[in-house]
Amino acid sequence: MIAFPEFIGVTEDSWNGFIESYAERVQDRQIASRVRRYRILVTMQWVLRFARIVARADRKDRMWEEPEGWQDLMVSRYAHYLHGIEQLI
């Protein structure tokens, strides 16, 4: 959930508060560190996924039509996640 594209608008402060609240609730001092490391891995997965989609955007052998503006959305998400991974590392 913490790195899912539908939550792009959630601020870093909100995510940090969420992580800290969760760690406090489960009474595990190490969980916050583990969640942050896992977030790096999942964010990198999204970078790679959107990079692959963008690289294949011009393929003409698709069996379906993509909606209008989908390429711009994929490029925007790629840039967002790439910037995000730079901030997390």
For 42-68, how does the pLDDT look when each residue is reduced to its tens digit (9 = 90+)?
999 999 999 999 998 887 777 778 888
Query: What CA–CA distance (Å, rounded) separates 57 from 77?
Result: 14
Q: What is the pLDDT of residues 2-46, one digit of tens each?
A: 899 999 999 999 999 999 999 999 999 899 999 999 999 999 999
**Are 29 and 23 a contacting pair, CB within 8 Å?**
yes
Note the pTM of the prediction, 2 decimals: 0.82
What pLDDT, on the 0 to 100 scale, is given for residue 65?
A: 80
Please count the CA atoms within 13 angstroms of the CA of 29 that sit on its side-chain side.
0
Residue numbers of the domain that contains 49: 5-88
Number of folded domains that form the chain = 1
